[in-house]
Amino acid sequence: MRRHRFSWKKNKLRRAFFLFMLPSFLGVLVFVLIPFLDVVKRSFSTAVTSQFNGIQNYKTIFTNQAFMLAVKNTFRFTFVCIPLLVVVGLIIAVPLSKMKSAGIIKSLYLFPLAMPTATIVIVWKMFFYRQGFLNLALSRIGEITGLWGEVQKDYLASSAAFWILVFSYVWKNTGYTVVLWLAGILGISNEMLEAARVDGASERQSFFKIILPNLKGSLYTIVILSFLNSFKIYREAYLVAGAYPEQDIYLLQHLFNNWFVNLDFDKMAAAAVCVGGFLFVVIMLLQRVWDNRD
């Protein structure tokens, strides 16, 4: 009788779980999986006649110079930004975790996320443009010291544009990174840290032996979110420099936008499948790496 009652309760909880997850699953199915399957289908057919042409679209994109340039720049941007964001966020979060009144400071770090992208872009233009604040300041310094003349460099139209975009990404996304690090640090048991101090552990030893090993979950979340967000920097790059920016900041999103405008849906579908597959594989590999560390 007791076993029957336990089985009935277990089945009831299982049904409640499936009913709770059903709306979310249907949303993902209708708005993500089915459209993506349609994109996969289009990647093997021509754009105008929708005739099956095998892997011709994939051959086309991998011999396309614009696609290879966009892939290289996007990967470069991602692999530069993610370590920077992770390290900067941790450096800020550690001292903040020791402050009793860190609420206002956390709000200030989250402020960039609340700012519209267009506003951020205007600020960068005012600062880095040919007649921007940076050039005015450098020109003034050169005038006072006599070391150089008037500076009128357009940073957004040079190789410096890549590092401006990196700075913009790190500045905008540091806030949520700090909050996630803080959540992980404050979730560590105080008793464990106190025991380490009683045993003679220094602050540095406590950080590397206790705090860091217990931040694996936070690190995984931050890396995944940062990785996905690095593929969404297109708005800033597009508003700053247009559809055809300086070569160093020509990203995959620029390419997709230009192919969409030119109605190259076959190439865009093949590229979208490649990017989606790559993102899925990377996330699965990261998940496996983190699971194996348990």
Report pLDDT digits (tens) over 65-83.
Answer: 988 988 898 888 888 988 9
Report pLDDT digits (tens) over 2-43.
Answer: 555 556 566 777 777 788 888 888 888 888 888 888 888 888
Residue stretches of the chain with pLDDT short of 70: 1-10, 100-111, 113-114, 234, 241, 292-294
What is the model's pLDDT at position 106?
64
3 state SS for the chain: CHHHHHHHHHHHHHHHHHHHHHHHHHHHHHHHHHHHHHHHHHCCECCCCCCECCCHHHHHHHCCHHHHHHHHHHHHHHHHHHHHHHHHHHHHHHHHHCCCCCHHHHHHHHHHHHCCHHHHHHHHHHHHCCCCHHHHHHHHHHHHHCCCCCCCCCHHHCCHHHHHHHHHHHHHHHHHHHHHHHHHHHCCCHHHHHHHHHCCCCHHHHHHHHHHHHHHHHHHHHHHHHHHHHHHCHHHHHHHHCCCCCHHHCCHHHHHHHHHHCCCHHHHHHHHHHHHHHHHHHHHHHHHHHHHCC
What is the model's pLDDT at position 7?
63
